[in-house]
Amino acid sequence: MQSDDLFVRKLRQPPSQSSPHKSPREVKSLITSGNSRHNGGARSHSESEYNPRDKGTGSPSAPRFKDPFILLGLAGNSQGPVALEVKEKPPEGDPVTPRPKSFAHHDIQSILFDPFKRRESEGRKNVRSGASAASQLKACTSSPRRSLSSPEDPGDSGDGKDSELLLSCPYFRNEVGGEEKEGQKDQGWDFCSLFSFNSPLINCPVRGPNAAVSVLEEARERLRDCSYFVEYQDLGALYYRKYFYGKEHQNFFGVDERLGPVAISLRRDERDGVQGIQYNYRIIFRTTELKTLRGSILEEAFPSSIRSSSSRAISPKKLLEYIVPEVNLQCLRLASNSPKVPETLLKLDEQGLSFQRKIGVLYCKSGQATEEEMYNNETAGPAFKEFLNLLGDEVKLKGFEKYRAQLDNKTDSTGTHSLYTRYQDYEIMFHVSTMLPFTASNSQQLLRKRHIGNDIVTIVFQEPGALPFTPQTIRSHFQHVFIVVRTHNPCTDHTIYSVAVTRTADTPPFGPPLPPTLFRRSPELRDFLLSKAINGENAAERGGKFLAMATRTREEYLRDLARDHVTTTTLDSCSSKLAILGLSKKRDRAGSTGPGDKSGKGTRWAYSVPPEFHSSGALVWTVKATSVCIPEGTYMLGISSEMVVLVDPKKEREGTVCFHCSCRDVLGWTYCNKGGLDLYYGRAGRLSLWPVANSESEVEAEVSHIVKRLQVVSGGCETREIPLLRNGLGQLGFNADSGGFVTEVERFSMAETVGLCPGARLVAICGQPFCSLTPEDVRTLFIRAKKVTVTTLPSDEAGKPRRSFSELYVRSLQEQRIMRPSEGDAEEKEEIIPRKTDSAPAAQNILRTLSVQEERTDFR
């Protein structure tokens, strides 16, 4: 009996070779080897272990020969707590399962798509969240200014940040102003130092924060009248509405044994390419996970083994086998023609995308701090009314036809008036405590709390003398973000406001960053508060509670589609239908122009680079990267027709985009001796990249592909590394201005001999990025360095120095400000500069420093 138990215990041990979750080294080798498969794509390691189409998998007795536990009459390896632990706890550091190299990703979500990854929030039901998580803890202090914590729950005691507005609180993180971001400042985007601007709006007006990056296939223009960007917004959810809804396409639903219910949408459309008409295959792959795969692939980018010269299109089966090999194709059935199908898919995809927001507003008088005291303030004081007038417009609820946020617009049961406004694309209705019904006999004021207590974001307005706020006084599972605003010198010409923000620990940080200075009563404060509130709600929805709720809703939608809206048509029997989608009123493939034999027997497209490099979406490479602001590590590099991004899958909750820039901001690149690539962007900032591969030849091939992609989508070029020799007087023989642009080269000097020309741009000196060097550093290197080597970018085709788009944009703002000084500029300086405690002489000399003629420094 003892030997039997020992035998069972040995069999219970997690297998080392056949485990569905391999070590990072095994995964890496599997990824790299997957590129050499016949289909050109890397299959997931889970699929390599198990193929649902293997012979015999449908037999009930088949598992007995694969699992010895079933033979013993015990729970199998795929059952029990051991298997559950292995399945639900993937090893740390596993990379995202890659798509084929030719697949163009539509958005950031698609790059991170991994159907086998399970979130930490899975199984978290009935867990206290929001302010309720903090309010259940007992305060262990008698001083109102002392931080609150709980000896009963030492796991999270808060961050220890206290201020006059806000106390540190367990399960919450405070932002009191002036917090520094992780890592050093990226000098590649520091245009203020170059053009002597002091306004925060001029630092990089065409580049938003990393958290605002969503869609990669299309350029996103910021609204001109807005100072801030909306973050954590899944704009890729509009992909089905834009490219599928109302157009001919095919939908397939089913229940996969490992992935659960899935829904796939396919469409073949035409696009004008560089060599005539091109055919593009678009796909949306949905699982119960909130991340969705959206993207496309050009017909010419498929391997020749998949394309057939006799067929007019690639069948859906071959398309799915190539792009999403992890799904069991035998479970898929063609969707019915019911009009409910596209409507349900719209709701499913746009489930987390809403342009209507409701925000609670609490009124805290002098000496107050608790939730009950704030709810029992029956009317608003003058200072509160002044703040509300700045925040939005008071509207009459009866007959109100716009977004009303569950307020009664027929019988005035929720009050007669409320506060409403619009910001960017959003409609915002405020639940103002003093505008909601007041019940004298109810100290809890449930008629008010039923609305404000269900808002994710709450603004707490404090009069002078109010006690510091803490979320421990709030009892609500939904209130996750509190924006505390305190007025100073209210109802005067010198009214100013101080702001602090607190969020739950599972809510990722969000912008805009809180400045250390006070706000004047101006539209700038309104823009900041509304942007902060919208971003706070978007960020909170990525937390555990709301994530679990959204996942359950998504699964219900998918199961309903797979159960009630499918036909009996399998994937094999409808494989020929995709060929005619969208082509009934368009030209046949044989009728389009372009090089090659029109009969389809010869090579159709003659590309100087692979056809996928002309795709609009992002092509992805796994690379090691580092820069001044990015720690060295493994990332996913995505390059679309509009943007270059670095994505870190390990920081999914905090925000996965670690770096981004427009393709128009790419200046050039340098090949490194170690098989890497130095990418220069913006104001000549540098990003070092090393593709991850098994051999040096593969690394060289990956670098070559990255460069070819950059040549197609950007105006950058390869740099030149020039060694400089001094003449007999120790001079280098050229002049350059403060931006690193060569303005003059002496005739017959050594600099002219080695090919340095006027108009060239210095991007690095002795291996150091030029933008990170001060003028004194540059002068020291040129004078004292034993061997001077400069990395330069040649001038463009027109003979002008190469500048990024952001540089040209900021330069145009500079010229407009000089040529058209107006009273509005003077008012702006009066509003912004004193708040930043700039000296009066600096304010008086700002126009004098903004000279279109750049400062010149002689290096001779």
Average pLDDT over every residue of 44-71: 39
Least confident of 99-108, 147-156, 562-571, 841-850: 841-850
Least confident of 28-37, 206-215, 224-233, 316-325: 28-37
d(CA 774, CA 767): 15
Average pLDDT over every residue of 720-734: 82
Least confident of 79-88, 637-646, 838-847: 838-847
Confidence of residue 146 (pLDDT cuts 50, 70, 90): very low
Looking at 1.10.287.40, 2.60.120.1570, 3.40.50.1970, 2.30.42.10, the CATH number of the domain 719-860 comes to 2.30.42.10
Give the helix ranges, DSSP H, for 459-517.
none
Confidence of residue 503 (pLDDT cuts 50, 70, 90): very high
Bridge partners (DSSP) listed for residue 458: 360, 482
Residues of the chain above pLDDT 70, percent: 70
d(CA 678, CA 688): 4
**Tell me: the pLDDT tens digits for 58-67?**
443 343 344 4
Predicted local confidence at residue 757, as pLDDT: 87
Least confident of 144-153, 210-219, 475-484, 618-627: 144-153
Global pTM reads 0.78
User: Could you tell me if residue 350 is left (phi over 0), alpha (psi between -120 and 50 degrees) or otherwise beta?
Assistant: alpha
Give the position of tokens 């500079």.
814
Q: For residues 348 and 263, is the Cβ–Cβ distance under 8 A?
A: yes
d(CA 655, CA 749): 51
As separate numbers, helices (DSSP H) first and strands (DSSP E) second, the chain gives: 23, 31
Residues of the chain above pLDDT 90, percent: 39
CA 93 to chain centre: 20
Average pLDDT over every residue of 563-579: 77
Q: What average pLDDT does the chain have? A: 76
Beta carbons within 8 Å of 720's beta carbon, 6+ residues apart: 755, 791, 792, 793, 794
Average pLDDT over every residue of 46-56: 38
d(CA 254, CA 771): 54
Nearest to 285 by CA among 248, 322, 312, 247: 322
Beta carbons within 8 Å of 29's beta carbon, 6+ residues apart: 694
pLDDT at 31 over 80: no
Predicted local confidence at residue 404, as pLDDT: 93
Nearest to 266 by CA among 292, 246, 244, 299: 244
Average pLDDT over every residue of 827-832: 42
Between residues 432 and 517, the one the model is more confident about: 432
Determine phi and psi for 824, rounding to 5 degrees. -65, -35
Q: Is 702 helix (H, G, I), strand (E, B) or coil?
A: helix
Sign for the CA dihedral angle at 376, 379, 380, 382 comes to negative
Confidence of residue 160 (pLDDT cuts 50, 70, 90): confident
d(CA 596, CA 657): 41
Predicted local confidence at residue 94, as pLDDT: 46
**268: part of which helix (H) or strand (E)?**
strand 260-273
Beta carbons within 8 Å of 35's beta carbon, 6+ residues apart: 41, 42, 101
Predicted local confidence at residue 456, as pLDDT: 94
Supply the DSSP string of 277-297, one letter for each residue: EEEEEEEEEE-SSS--EEEEE
Confidence of residue 735 (pLDDT cuts 50, 70, 90): confident
**Tell me: the pLDDT tens digits for 291-308?**
899 999 988 888 877 776
How far CA 722 is from CA of 650, 774, 779, in Å, comes to: 39, 21, 18
pLDDT at 666 over 90: yes
For domain 356-540, give the CATH superfamily.
Rap/Ran-GAP (3.40.50.11210)
Average pLDDT over every residue of 58-78: 41
**417: part of which helix (H) or strand (E)?**
strand 417-423
Between residues 129 and 450, the one the model is more confident about: 450
pLDDT at 743 over 60: yes
Helix, strand, coil tally for the chain in percent (to 5): 30, 20, 50
Environment class of 254 (CB within 10 Å of its CB; exposed 0-12, middle 13-18, buried 19+)? buried
pLDDT at 582 over 70: no
Confidence of residue 97 (pLDDT cuts 50, 70, 90): low
pLDDT at 222 over 70: no
Confidence of residue 338 (pLDDT cuts 50, 70, 90): very high
Residue 618 DSSP label? B
Nearest to 712 by CA among 619, 603, 606: 619
Confidence of residue 220 (pLDDT cuts 50, 70, 90): low
Structure tokens that stand for 438 in this block: 């007041």
d(CA 699, CA 678): 14
Structure tokens that stand for 709 in this block: 């992609």
Beta carbons within 8 Å of 333's beta carbon, 6+ residues apart: 252, 253, 254, 566, 567, 568, 569, 570
Confidence of residue 74 (pLDDT cuts 50, 70, 90): very low
Average pLDDT over every residue of 654-683: 87
Structure tokens that stand for 387 in this block: 């703040």
Q: For residues 523 and 517, is the Cβ–Cβ distance under 8 A?
A: no
**What value, to the nearest 5°, has the Cα angle with vertex 506 and ends 504 and 509?**
75
pLDDT at 579 over 70: no
Predicted local confidence at residue 159, as pLDDT: 81
How far CA 404 is from CA of 347, 414, 454, in Å, comes to: 21, 11, 15
Give the position of tokens 């407009």.
816
Between residues 179 and 50, the one the model is more confident about: 179
pLDDT at 682 over 80: yes
Least confident of 331-340, 444-453, 593-602: 593-602
pLDDT at 25 over 60: no
Crossing angle of the two packed helices 544-564 and 340-349, in degrees rounded to 10:
160
Q: Is 601 helix (H, G, I), strand (E, B) or coil?
A: coil
Least confident of 619-623, 666-670, 768-772: 768-772
pLDDT at 69 over 60: no
Beta carbons within 8 Å of 259's beta carbon, 6+ residues apart: 115, 116, 287, 288, 326, 327
**Tell me: the pLDDT tens digits for 433-459?**
999 999 998 888 999 999 999 999 999
Residue 851 DSSP label? -
Predicted local confidence at residue 192, as pLDDT: 56
- Most confident residue range from 224-228, 264-268, 780-784: 264-268
Predicted local confidence at residue 694, as pLDDT: 87
Structure tokens that stand for 539 in this block: 């960020």
Predicted local confidence at residue 246, as pLDDT: 92
Residues constituting the chain: 860
What is the residue extent of each domain of the chain? 2-94, 100-130+214-352+556-591+606-612, 356-540, 618-718, 719-860
pLDDT at 806 over 80: yes
Nearest to 539 by CA among 284, 661, 357, 402: 357
d(CA 618, CA 297): 11
Beta strands in 664-733 (DSSP E): 666-671, 677-681, 685-691, 717-718, 720-724
Environment class of 408 (CB within 10 Å of its CB; exposed 0-12, middle 13-18, buried 19+)? middle
Q: What is 618-718's CATH topology?
A: PH-domain like (2.30.29)
d(CA 333, CA 726): 75
Average pLDDT over every residue of 713-729: 86
How far CA 596 is from CA of 9, 91, 307, 614, in Å, comes to: 65, 49, 16, 19
Looking at 3.40.710.10, 3.40.50.920, 3.30.1120.160, 3.90.1150.10, the CATH number of the domain 100-130+214-352+556-591+606-612 comes to 3.30.1120.160
d(CA 615, CA 640): 8
Nearest to 485 by CA among 454, 524, 529: 529
**Tell me: the pLDDT tens digits for 462-491?**
999 999 999 999 988 889 999 999 999 999
Residue 496 DSSP label? E
d(CA 256, CA 566): 15
Confidence of residue 647 (pLDDT cuts 50, 70, 90): very high
Q: For residues 564 and 265, is the Cβ–Cβ distance under 8 A?
A: no
